């Protein structure tokens, strides 16, 4: 029978619940258990696909095409499992499904209510994650902070699960903040006590506390937290601020939280295989060289908007013992008249243009691509980055001056990038992009083949527009190689320009499949080329 771990948060948001949940999952997996992860987001949007990345950060895409919260990226990177549609549930999803059932007549006769209809739907999502993944342990993180109006129905559902399944099948981890008061020089436990009280008022008794603190908790503070929160002292876990997030599972491991969870579940405590993770942490802590790579985007003021991309760059850096410093370049700044590109890219060894939507900042990105091409700087374009690379090449090399995407100019004369045929009739914005895994066939004797070392790959997508095959011949004549193609739909997936040291771009998002111990092949070779470009 599947066991369930729930991770809630108190006091303030942004405590790192996602990393806490991922770290617990990593430890339990390393002890030989099959672990699956899930996040509940109490907002009303059906998914974060239509949200502004500046507010919400990146949209992470699962292999089955779900647009999800960026915490799922942490989950996949920590536990190295591909998640799916059961892994990110929002209030929007819950409400739409309940309302659909009501319209269909599933509840005929009943008044449809928060309890039991909404809460049952939530409970089903928890159980569904367990049964469909046939895992031993499911870890569910509840977004937001205990006390938020939006999360009440989720917590009520979890209370019912705790009651239904009992202590040996459920474990609640509450993440809180232990603030430090300058002057009196004390760590304070009261906000945590109050937050646990809030949780208990909702009928949930947490089994462990993960206390985010600037430094180690004294025995005295742990005693106090244990006593006032009715939590065994060995389950009062400290989460001290770290420089490197990969350290966190090891810090938890030392405090035996995973063992305590397994004990409560009556599951055997098998030996933890975490040597590979210790090696990773050691590598990250001992990086000797540094390499600067420019990331040119329009949401750069919030680095989380490009979380998986920046993580992927770092992963590849680890492989070559290099610390990758990202030069965050706001593409709109590049559009200013007297901009000095040489100055901006002074220390930059590689240029990356990631995905994006809408026309703001487009000209700046095209300028950056031109700069990379003309100066033979290693370049990686992702999704929009690939589309713009073909536009830049068409305009400046093939002399098709009016080359553009119909996303920015619906009536443009030379639509190098155009809406995909099956997108033309779509009117709803949410969930209607080309999403998730699609096949790609790699052409031999290309940079892409050198990277992947195989002909058939699967990569995750999130876009509405595509390269217009009408322009394939002219670009090819001028030196572009179309090295990756989706044969079923005849869509261009990878382009490269072999005349240069390293110039490659893809229509899909490789960043979703990179792992700290296994960088994605396209990031691997791009970062290697940037490191070598010295």
Give the interface with ligand GLN as residue ranges (CB under 6 A).
355-357, 383-384, 407, 462-465
Nearer to ligand GLN, 356 or 510 (CB): 356
Which of 60/465 has CB closer to ligand GLN? 465
Please confirm, yes or no, whether 311 is among the known catalytic residues.
Answer: no
CB of 510 to ligand GLN, least distance (A): 12
Which of 498, 257, 220, 272 has its CA nearest to residue 379? 498
SS3 per-residue string spanning 352-419:
EECCCCCCCCHHHHHHHHHHHHHCCCCEEEECHHHHHHHHHHHHHCCCCCCEEECCCCCCCCEEEEEE
CB of 161 to ligand GLN, least distance (A): 36
Give the Cα separation of 126 and 120 in Å (integer).
Answer: 10
Minimum distance between the CB of residue 251 and ligand GLN, rounded to whole angstroms? 35
Q: Pick the catalytic residue from 229, 493, 511, 520.
A: 511
d(CA 173, CA 308): 26
Of 315, 461, 509, 520, the active-site residue reads: 509
- The DSSP element (H or E) to which 98 belongs, if any, is helix 91-104
The rounded distance, in Å, linking the Cα atoms of 306 and 53 is 9
- Pair 432, 419: CB distance under 8 Å: no
Please tell me which residue in 383, 398, 440, 506 is annotated as part of the active site: 383
Q: Is 56 a catalytic residue?
A: no
> Based on CB atoms, which residue is closest to ligand GLN, 140 or 468?
468
Q: Report the nearest approach of ligand GLN to the CB of residue 465 (Å).
A: 3
Q: How far is CA 3 from CA 18, 89, 161, 264, in A?
A: 19, 19, 11, 10
User: CB of 469: closest distance to ligand GLN in angstroms?
Assistant: 15
* Distance set, CA 196 to CA 147, 217, 236, 256 (Å): 10, 18, 13, 22
Q: Which of 80, 1, 67 shows the shortest CA–CA distance to 37?
A: 80
Which CB, 17 or 460, lies closer to ligand GLN? 460
Three-class DSSP category at 57: coil
Nearer to ligand GLN, 248 or 475 (CB): 475
Nearest to 280 by CA among 26, 7, 532, 25: 26
Annotated catalytic residue 511: yes
- Degrees (nearest 5) of the Cα angle 201, 138, 217? 60
* Nearest residue (CB) to ligand GLN, 12 versus 54: 54
Nearest residue to ligand GLN on Cβ basis: 355
Least distance to ligand GLN from the beta carbon of 355, Å? Answer: 3
Q: How far is the CB of 524 from ligand GLN (least distance, A)?
A: 21
Answer yes or no: are the C-beta atoms of 172 and 206 closer than 8 Å.
yes
In the complex with ligand GLN, which residue's Cβ is closer, 272 or 383?
A: 383
Which residues are identified as catalytic? 383, 509, 511
């Amino acid at each position: 029978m599947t066991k369930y771990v729930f991770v809630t948060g108190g006091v303030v948001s942004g405590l790192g619940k996602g990393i806490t949940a991922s770290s617990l999952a990593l430890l339990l997996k390393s002890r030989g258990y099959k672990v699956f992860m899930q996040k509940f987001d109490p907002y009303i949007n059906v998914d974060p696909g239509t949200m502004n990345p500046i507010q919400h950060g990146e949209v992470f895409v699962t292999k089955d095409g779900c647009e999800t919260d960026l915490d799922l990226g942490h989950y996949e990177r920590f536990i190295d499992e591909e998640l799916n549609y059961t892994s990110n549930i929002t209030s929007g999803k819950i409400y739409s499904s309940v309302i659909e059932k009501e319209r269909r007549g599933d509840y005929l006769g009943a008044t449809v209510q928060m309890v039991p209809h909404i809460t049952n739907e939530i409970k089903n999502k928890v159980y569904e994650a367990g049964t469909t993944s046939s895992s031993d342990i499911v870890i569910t993180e509840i977004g937001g902070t205990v006390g938020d109006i939006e999360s009440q129905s989720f917590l009520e559902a979890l209370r019912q699960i705790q009651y239904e399944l009992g202590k040996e099948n459920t474990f609640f981890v509450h993440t809180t903040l232990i603030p430090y008061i300058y002057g009196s020089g004390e760590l304070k436990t009261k906000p945590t006590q109050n937050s646990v009280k809030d949780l208990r008022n909702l009928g949930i008794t947490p089994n462990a506390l993960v206390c985010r603190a600037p430094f180690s908790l004294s025995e005295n503070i742990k005693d106090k937290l244990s006593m006032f929160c009715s939590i065994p002292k060995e389950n009062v876990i400290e989460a001290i601020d770290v420089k490197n997030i990969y350290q966190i599972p090891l810090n938890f491991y030392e405090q035996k939280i995973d063992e305590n969870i397994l004990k409560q579940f009556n599951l055997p405590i098998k030996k933890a295989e975490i040597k590979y993770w210790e090696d990773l942490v050691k590598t990250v802590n001992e990086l000797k060289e540094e390499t600067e790579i420019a990331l040119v985007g329009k949401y750069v003021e919030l680095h989380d908007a490009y979380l998986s991309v920046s993580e992927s760059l770092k992963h590849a850096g680890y492989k070559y013992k290099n610390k990758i410093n990202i030069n965050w370049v706001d593409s709109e700044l590049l559009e200013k008249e007297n901009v000095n590109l040489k100055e901006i890219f002074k220390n930059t060894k590689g240029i990356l243009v990631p995905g994006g939507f809408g026309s703001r900042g487009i000209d700046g990105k095209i300028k950056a691509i031109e700069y990379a091409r003309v100066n033979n700087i290693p370049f990686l374009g992702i999704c929009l980055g690939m589309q713009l690379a073909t536009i830049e090449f068409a305009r400046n090399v093939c002399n098709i001056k009016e080359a553009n995407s119909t996303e920015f100019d619906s009536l443009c004369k030379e639509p190098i990038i155009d809406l995909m045929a099956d997108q033309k009739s779509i009117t709803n914005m949410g969930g209607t992009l080309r999403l998730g895994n699609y096949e790609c066939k790699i052409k031999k004797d290309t940079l892409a083949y050198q990277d992947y070392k195989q002909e058939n790959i699967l990569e995750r997508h999130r876009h509405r527009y595509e390269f217009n095959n009408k322009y394939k011949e002219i670009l090819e004549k001028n030196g572009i190689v179309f090295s990756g193609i989706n044969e079923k739909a005849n869509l261009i997936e990878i382009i490269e320009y072999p005349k240069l040291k390293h110039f490659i771009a893809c229509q899909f998002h490789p960043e979703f499949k990179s792992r700290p111990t296994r960088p994605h092949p396209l990031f691997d070779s791009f970062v290697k080329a940037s490191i070598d470009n010295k």
